Amino acid sequence: MKYFVDLRKNSLATGKSINLALSNRARKAMRIVGLEEDVLSTTVHMKGRYIHELSGNDYFLPYDPVHKQNLYSINRNRLNSVLLTAAEDKFNVNIFFEYELVDADLKKGIVHFKNLRTHEVIEKTSKLIIGADGAHSSLRNIIQQQDRFSFSQKYIEHGYVELIIKPTEGKLLDMNAFHLWPRRTFLMIAIPNPDASFTVTLFMSFDKFKKLNNSKLYLQFFDENFPDAINLLGAKQITEELPLKKPRYLVSIYCRPYHFEDKFLLIGDAAHAMVPFYGQGMNAGFEDCTVLNQLLDLHNDDFAKVIENFTNVRNEDARSICELAMYNYKEMSSYTLNKSFRLRKCIDELLYSFMPEIWIPLYVSVTFSDMKYKKCIENRRWQDKVIRTMLWILSILVITFSFIYYYLTMNNV
């Protein structure tokens, strides 16, 4: 793990700030270690998506209209602070800041860290070393030099910049909703904070960002595409601050295996980084902890069996959620504008209300259950097949009854 500073003591600590959306998988992991209530106390619950169409035809789509389950918005630094404090106070964990991993002897289970202040390199040995050091994992970079380690990464053509809606303007929006401005090839989102402010993220192709190279073009862009957001963000932020922001990259990462022998293991983004459009990156990372904990119990803390089994159990599910995250960008930016999408959502909600144990919509299964991600996709494909069959049967019935009606009418029966 690499922290340059203790963000609990340094208010200037920076990093990614897209708010995180806590859902069932992360909550389950926190519940196991007794942290769920502490974490939820600092969140804002979100009941669904509030869609802002360019036409001004705004509408609300609940996440779970049947059981009324919510997502919970939390600031990334706030969550990290809670977890760091709990690790120190409750779990006898020692945390060292301002160190980075520079090398490892995989065969011997030895790692080397460099002090970022003194540049001194220290050596540590352990029976099991877990790398949870993010998408650009230093430990994974070392492990992937070994034979038969599969690795791929994909940067998408879209990047993002972050803005803020201040509390005074934020009070004009529904505080318990995930706000979404879909515009087919780009989109903007706003996620609530406890102080009534909103963290805003604009996702767009790098080519589009490059073309908007001055204040006048940005203001024109917002006037044409997000006219209702200008007063929320303020013209000054759009014209003076936004042109100075450099878009950040978004990457998906796949690798296999997640371990090296019985000494090293990768979890979270180090093993399976994904784009943020399903809100499952952090939730999947916490679920890694749940799965690892279950395997430790199952194999009586036999690390050799546990970490090999972890790769086998987790790899395909992780790949599945990475693919779903890519799909959900299309859903948020484009599909939500289609009438067919809303019709399908109505069908899902109707069947879900009558058969909640059988018919679980894709979003509900991913976000509000612990169903395996692969199973979520398989379940969706089954549902698609059922609906296609129902529509085919309905079409046959309509044609048949139309023919009978025509025949009876022509023969004056």
User: Using CA atoms, how far apart are residues 116 and 66, in angstroms rounded to an integer?
Assistant: 52
Query: Do strands 264-266 and 129-131 pair parallel, antiparallel, or not at all (unpaired)?
Result: parallel
Confidence band (pLDDT; 50, 70, 90) for 4?
Answer: low
pLDDT score of 379 more than 90: yes
Confidence band (pLDDT; 50, 70, 90) for 3?
Answer: very low
Confidence band (pLDDT; 50, 70, 90) for 167?
Answer: very high
pLDDT score of 406 more than 90: no
pLDDT score of 2 more than 50: no
Counting beta carbons within 10 angstroms of the beta carbon of residue 126, is it exposed (0 to 12), middle (13 to 18) or buried (19 or more)? exposed
pLDDT score of 376 more than 80: yes
Share of the chain above pLDDT 90, in %: 82
pLDDT digits (tens, 9 = 90+) for 64-80: 999 999 999 999 888 99
> What pLDDT, on a 0 to 100 scale, did the predictor assign at position 410?
81
Q: Where are the alpha helices (DSSP H) in 226-356?
A: 230-233, 235-236, 269-272, 281-298, 303-333, 339-354
User: Using CA atoms, how far apart are residues 400 and 287, in angstroms rounded to an integer?
Assistant: 51
pTM score, whole prediction: 0.91
pLDDT score of 13 more than 60: no
Contact 199, 164 (CB under 8 A): yes
Catalogue the E-assigned strands of 166-219: 178-182, 187-192, 198-205
Q: Is the preceding omega at residue 167 within 30 degrees of 0, hence cis?
A: no
The gap between the terminal CA atoms of the chain, to the nearest Å, is 82
> What pLDDT, on a 0 to 100 scale, did the predictor assign at position 125?
95
Mean pLDDT of 114-137: 94
> What pLDDT, on a 0 to 100 scale, did the predictor assign at position 408?
83
For the chain, domain boundaries: 158-244, 337-409
pLDDT score of 190 more than 80: yes
Three-class SS state of 112: strand
> How far is CA 243 from each of CA 112, 193, 205, 212, 367, rounded to the nearest angstrom?
41, 24, 15, 8, 35
Share of the chain above pLDDT 70, in %: 96
